[in-house]
Amino acid sequence: MKHLIDFLENQTIEKSNIFSQLKCTVEEAKILQLLTRKFLESQEDVPVSELLQEIYGAENYEYLSHFGEIKTLLELGWMTHHSFTPIKISELSQLELFNTPVALTSLFMKLLEEGSLEMTLPEIKPYADHLEYLQDQFFRIELYQKMSVVRHSGNDHSMGVNRFQSKLDLLEKRIDERIAQTSQDVVLDRFFKQKKLEPKEQVIFLALLKEEYSATEGNLREMNTLIDLISFDDYERIKNRALLEDGARLINDDVIDYEEMLNPFGGISRAFYIVDEVLQSIMHPQKKKKASKLKLDMLIKEQEIFELIEPVTSLENVVLNPSTEKTLQNLMRQLDKEVISRLHQWGVKDKKAGIDARIIFYGPPGTGKTLTAHSLSRSLKRQVLSFDCSKILSMYIGESEKNVRKIFDTYADLTRQTKTEPILLLNEADQFLASRSAGVGSSADQMHNQMQNIFLEQIEKFQGILIATTNLLENIDKAFSRRFNYKIEFKKPDQKQRLALWTMMLPKNAPYESGFDVSKLGSHPLTGGQINLIVKNTAYNVAARDNAVFMLSDFEDEITKEKQGNFDSEKSVGFLNR
């Protein structure tokens, strides 16, 4: 504690051991000296007015001219203010500090105790092993975290950030020098070079790797936290988002991935993680690489039952009735891994069982059932295996019962071989779900009943996420209704939702007539599927004209045809109304 005693007892304060490191005036150092004495007397927080009056006296309000010294010490990071509303010091008037309590910062206390804030590092020598290299890299991430905290503090942060930046520069130089002297293979350094990761990409990867090693609660996994780590201002935050958005190299190269989850405010947040294959190669470099798992898209080519869909829209891109949207948000929460983990702990759910749900989307055609199924899949980071149930009879005449079982057996085989869990989507499942015929009936009725019984049996033992879409819920057999734990209604859009759909679907880069009023289109009672079809057919008509400008009347003509149900067949080719 010699530096503390020297600072308190030295009558000529500028001659104290630490004065040169304070970068402040003698008057400012005297304020720190008094605040230090108060701290040793167990008075941690001292109002600014009391502090200044004790040094300069209260007569003639002379102390009021010294509030500038307080602001400087706050900005330098030697002192902190305790205010109910965090605010930058630069935005705080001097008089607002009058009754504000101030205290010494931990940084200043460290200086008093150690006499220096300079980081001392051991001599440069080669890395003995991979873990020694990781130790330096994780220390590097800690410095990035500290800088991020300082930047988000209420005080101006330039001095604090500069101190950490100096330490960071010194550490990064040391890492480079040690790597240059290391002859043996350092797995992570080799990985960075192979992937040609930029410095900011390396920081993101190291932050996620640090989370894996420390087994924390995911503090560094959230998108905004990772962006703040590598951004020094708002401009950089906007620019650096591209490093974690779809299409970013880290994601495209299967280095990292993310899960989307609903946050408490109803929005969707992303939590990132290192892809398992990459993580294992870094954490267990000596382990023999397992045979790579089969890709689902390769196996799909070998069968004729399913269509593989890679969803391109998430739930944020779908316009839904508020009640439907609320039900979907509740479904998303219940499918969250943390919720599943709690159910395992409570014994409600078997620990071996993963996320599973059997869901019915019901409502009129064109209300977005299929689109929402795809979007839900993307939000859950799943692929979709889609089967058109309307084809079951025409595809397999005489073998319908056998092939209902084949749908589920093939799904199980595909998930087992690829070690993935795609969502099983059964489109137009009305005939599967409809009430079964009573009595003996015709042979066709018997075959239909048998097919439904097998379907019921398969639904009962299905593991995973299954979504069935149907137009009429009232016709569903009660036995089926009990097997589905989520039944979500899709209503026809109201005028507000129709306007949102028109705005979303209208061509963005196309020319429109002067005074084009999209709200007039929203007044027509159409479903999303109808609006999509009308927009596409109108676009084809307009594009074929010499004067290729969209007129309101162009859309109204197509709306009339849609209502009358007399679209020319050749116009509809290729556009599905779902």
454 versus 34: the higher-pLDDT residue is 34
Tell me the C-alpha distance between 118 and 110, whole Å. Answer: 11
* CB burial readout 185-224, b (16+ within 10 A) else e: ebbbbebbeebebeebbbbbbbbbbbbeeeeeeeebbbee
Query: How far is residue 110 from each of residues 117, 165, 170, 527, measured CA to CA in Å?
Result: 7, 18, 20, 66
Are 208 and 272 spatial neighbours (Cβ–Cβ below 8 Å)?
yes
Q: Look-up: residue for tokens 């003698």?
A: 26
Q: Is 14 helix (H, G, I), strand (E, B) or coil?
A: helix
- Interstrand relation of 486-489 and 357-362 (parallel, antiparallel or unpaired): parallel
431 versus 574: the higher-pLDDT residue is 431
Task: For the chain, give the mean pLDDT.
Answer: 82
Average pLDDT over residues 561-565: 85
pLDDT grade for 505, boundaries at 50, 70 and 90: very high
pLDDT grade for 441, boundaries at 50, 70 and 90: low
469-502 pLDDT per residue, tens: 988 777 777 777 788 888 888 989 999 999 999 9
Residue of 351, 350, 349, 314 lying closest to 332 (CA atoms): 314
- In this prediction, residue 92 carries a pLDDT of 65
User: Does the CA dihedral 349-352-355-356 come out positive or negative?
Assistant: negative
223-270 pLDDT per residue, tens: 888 999 898 888 888 999 999 988 889 998 889 988 876 655 556 678
pLDDT grade for 156, boundaries at 50, 70 and 90: very low
Residue of 183, 174, 205, 357 lying closest to 275 (CA atoms): 205
pLDDT over 70 for what percent of the chain? 84
Are 318 and 329 spatial neighbours (Cβ–Cβ below 8 Å)?
no
Are 250 and 204 spatial neighbours (Cβ–Cβ below 8 Å)?
yes
Average pLDDT over residues 499-511: 93
- In this prediction, residue 572 carries a pLDDT of 36
348-404 pLDDT per residue, tens: 776 555 667 889 998 888 888 999 999 888 888 888 999 888 776 655 455 666 778
Q: Which domains does the chain have, with CATH numbers?
A: 2-114 (1.10.10), 130-283 (no CATH), 296-489 (3.40.50.300), 495-572 (1.10.8.60)
The Cβ-side half-sphere exposure at 122, using a 13 Å CA radius, reads 7
- In this prediction, residue 85 carries a pLDDT of 46
- In this prediction, residue 73 carries a pLDDT of 84
52-95 pLDDT per residue, tens: 999 988 888 888 888 888 888 887 778 887 654 445 555 667 77
- In this prediction, residue 340 carries a pLDDT of 76
